[in-house]
Amino acid sequence: MTRGQARALETLQTRFVIEPQDTSFEDYSADREPAPLGVEIGFGMGQALAEWALERQDWRLLGIEVYQPGIGSLLLQLEEAGATNVRVLEADAREIFERWLPAASVREIHIYFPDPWPKKRHASRRIVQPDTLAVFANALEPGGLLHLATDWQSYAEWMLECAQGEPRLRNLAAGFAPRPDDRPVTRFEARGQRLGHDVWDLKLERVANEP
């Protein structure tokens, strides 16, 4: 962790970080105007989330991450940009979606370049699983979007297989989506591009409940 990241964690936590055990979703929402809610799971060093905050200043955004240097990095970027619409949850994403976020409360969920756990014996640790997609679908409002991206082909194929098994999510492409212009190129992705890695995107829409 750099000195700047450590300073950010010490001085900016009270402004940007939510303690889910002490703050309910209703408390978080109480002093904010109604606005679309976006969530990024595993935001890494925070570049994509910081850019999202500036592009969607009329949205409320939540970032979920457990890597403290990454949280510190994001807080520095938010402070520098003057962004006020982001809050951070240092917590397990599944627990947040199951116990903290209400159903049909989220407009968009972004999961960019999650840990691929490439060894077969570790595949069950991947964030994208059939049961987690069901949890994410429950949190999305009808018409809401789940955007996934990875540079591991085997993980991309697994994501697609899982998506095909979740009836509440509709793939917006015939397979993988073209790279969206609105997804920032993070340092992680740029490094992968230099190494010749391909990237696969999936954009999944929450279908309306049956009447």
Q: What stretch of H or E contains 140?
A: strand 140-150
pTM exceeding the 0.75 threshold for the entire prediction: yes
Q: Which of 137, 19, 149 is nearest to 88 (CA)?
A: 19
pLDDT tens string 41-71: 999 999 999 999 999 999 999 999 999 999 9
The model's confidence at residue 211, banded by pLDDT at 50, 70 and 90, is: very low
Residue 197 confidence (pLDDT) = 84
Give Cβ neighbours of residue 168 (< 8 Å, ≥ 6 apart).
134, 137, 138, 206, 207, 209
pLDDT tens string 108-149: 999 999 999 989 898 899 999 999 999 999 999 999 999 999
pLDDT tens string 175-187: 999 999 889 888 7
Residue 208 confidence (pLDDT) = 87
More confident residue, 204 or 208: 204
Q: What DSSP string describes 22-60?
A: T--HHHHHHTS----EEEEES-TTSHHHHHHHHHTTTSE
115 noted as active-site residue: yes
The model's confidence at residue 210, banded by pLDDT at 50, 70 and 90, is: low
The model's confidence at residue 30, banded by pLDDT at 50, 70 and 90, is: confident
Task: Choose the catalytic residue: 27, 115, 182, 198.
Answer: 115
- 65 CB burial (10 A radius; 0-12, 13-18, 19+): buried
* Whether residue 32 has pLDDT greater than 90: no
Q: Which of 157, 136, 156, 159 is nearest to 206 (CA)?
A: 136
